[in-house]
Amino acid sequence: MSYLTLSLTLIFVLIPLILSRTLKLGLEKDTLIATVRSIIQLLAVGYVLQYVFEVDNIIFIVLMILLMIGAATQNARKKGASIQGITWKLVVTFVFIEVLTQSILLGFQIVPPTPQYIIPISGMVIGNSMVLGILFLNRFTAEVENRQDETELILTLGGTPKQAIHTQLITSIKASTIPTIESQKTIGLVQLPGMMSGQIIAGADPVQAVQFQLLILFLLLTTAVVTSILLGYLSYPTLFNKRMQFLKLKS
């Protein structure tokens, strides 16, 4: 795509800007900021990726992944701010899911060990893990808040902290993973996934594009379930002290 053609895509930014102005929606400022940020961020990433691919050095790959984990943690921690030590819990979750998925992909030689595969796949895994983490933390903190009576009831009857929080934990894990599972049921019928569409537009064989998309879908299934479970099991013990007393969420 030439720069002239690329600049023509700004028409798609002008349409919402004009509509916002006409209907007084007040979205102009945010639309402009979003446009400028996406241009700068994506171009920067494009040049960085180009360099990393050329150098093909493990240190740069690791640095890129660490950067992604750092950004994902920073973004997700706000949603779990009421849970003690949420930052390191998120870091552990993202590192674990990255190591798990890459070990399977590279260990079974499903994808070649090159930055062209490792970095984009890591981006998808960590990005989805972050979204799942946010969904989980949102639901979990709400469940814990709303069902304090049930938690204390089970403790008073001689239940352990794990038993006292079990329902809230399971409900939150299910609620956060259901969107991923449900969206996979209709994929290809309602929408073509972004990565597959991109490959087809770029001229790839559609069947091969589908094969890669399936790989990503299955990968994201693991990412969703493992993220919620791991984050849940890392989070709930901090809601109790050594005397098995239920502690309030940090306000």
The residue among 185 and 243 lying less far from another protein, judged by its C-beta, is 243
The residue among 132 and 164 lying less far from another protein, judged by its C-beta, is 164
Is 246 a residue that touches another protein (CB under 8 A)? yes
Is 160 a residue that touches another protein (CB under 8 A)? yes
Is 163 a residue that touches another protein (CB under 8 A)? yes
Closest approach of another protein to the CB of residue 173, in Å: 17
Closest approach of another protein to the CB of residue 138, in Å: 21
Closest approach of another protein to the CB of residue 158, in Å: 4
The residue among 160 and 211 lying less far from another protein, judged by its C-beta, is 160
Select from 18-26, 97-105, 154-162, 195-203 the region that touches another protein (CB under 8 A): 154-162
Select from 1-9, 28-36, 72-80, 148-156 the region that touches another protein (CB under 8 A): 148-156
Is 152 a residue that touches another protein (CB under 8 A)? yes
Q: Could you write out the three-class secondary structure of the chain?
A: CCHHHHHHCCHHHHHHHHHHHHCCCCCHHHHHHHHHHHHHHHHHHHHHHHHHHHHCCHHHHHHHHHHHHHHHHHHHHHHHCCCCCHHHHHHHHHHHHHHHHHHHHHHCCCCCCCHHHHHHHHHHHHHHHHHHHHHHHHHHHHHHHHCHHHHHHHHHCCCCHHHHHHHHHHHHHHHHHHHHHHHHHHECCCECCHHHHHHHHCCCCHHHHHHHHHHHHHHHHHHHHHHHHHHHHHHHHHHECCCCCECCCCC
1, 23, 59, 157: which one contacts another protein (CB under 8 A)?
157
Closest approach of another protein to the CB of residue 244, in Å: 4
Closest approach of another protein to the CB of residue 163, in Å: 5
d(CA 14, CA 119): 32
Binding site residues, another protein, CB under 8 A: 149-150, 152-160, 163, 167, 243-246
